[in-house]
Amino acid sequence: MIFRAVEDADLIQQAARGAVEAYNLLVSRWEKRVYNYLLRITGNREDALDLTQDVFLKAYQNLRKLDDPGRFAPWLYRIAHNEAYSMFRKRRPETDVDELEPESVETGIVFGGSSVFPMELSLAVAGALERLSPEQREAVVLKIYQGFKFEEMAEILSCPVSTVKSRLYSAFDLLKAELAPIRTRGVS
């Protein structure tokens, strides 16, 4: 008997044929990452949880349209991005998406749970991220916290790679300046 790890592609194929258990396994592999992505761009736990549920429901309904299972991650995050921005527009339809900011600065969202970094640094990072524009923040989240390549980010955000790079580089310049005083105080 040969054992092998069940790949996402296997689960996707089974789920596309209606196997709910296979889809639940797929959800369990991705839900935490999607939730944290949505949490970073919305800044609200309840919204992030509701959106995560909507994202996986929509993904299940459209799973048969995914031709290449290898592209599942960018495809799933594209849904998540659209769901989040759809919520932003519904709540503030008169506001341009570029001006949207997270509802509240929840500086206590996460403190890493790591003893290496003190709370002061985590607070500073959370504050610095909040001060970025929504586009810059999302680029940082997708690259630093979710580990996507530039091409995948362009697919998720539906924009050219050059735009993705521009947002990320400008965000890093700002973050570098914001976090420099913390580092020079020897916190890191």
Using CB under 8 A, list all residues that contact another protein.
Answer: 16-18, 20-21, 23-24, 27-28, 31-33, 35-36, 39, 45, 49, 52-53, 56-57, 60, 64-65, 67, 109-114, 116-117, 121-122, 124-126, 129, 140, 143-145, 149-150, 165, 168-169, 172, 175-176, 179-180, 182-183, 188
The residue assigned the tokens 């949505």 is 38
Pick between residue 159 and residue 182 the one whose CB is nearest to another protein: 182
Pick between residue 87 and residue 129 the one whose CB is nearest to another protein: 129
CB of 70 to another protein, least distance (A): 15
Q: What angle do CA 50, 53, 55 make, to 5 degrees?
A: 110
Distance CA 114, CA 109 (A): 14
Pick between residue 87 and residue 140 the one whose CB is nearest to another protein: 140
Pick between residue 23 and residue 75 the one whose CB is nearest to another protein: 23
Tokens of 180: 């420099």
Tokens of 136: 């810059």
CA 148 to chain CA centroid, nearest Å: 10
Task: Determine contact, residues 126/107, Cβ cutoff 8 Å.
Answer: yes
CB of 182 to another protein, least distance (A): 7
Sign of CA dihedral 93, 98, 99, 102: positive
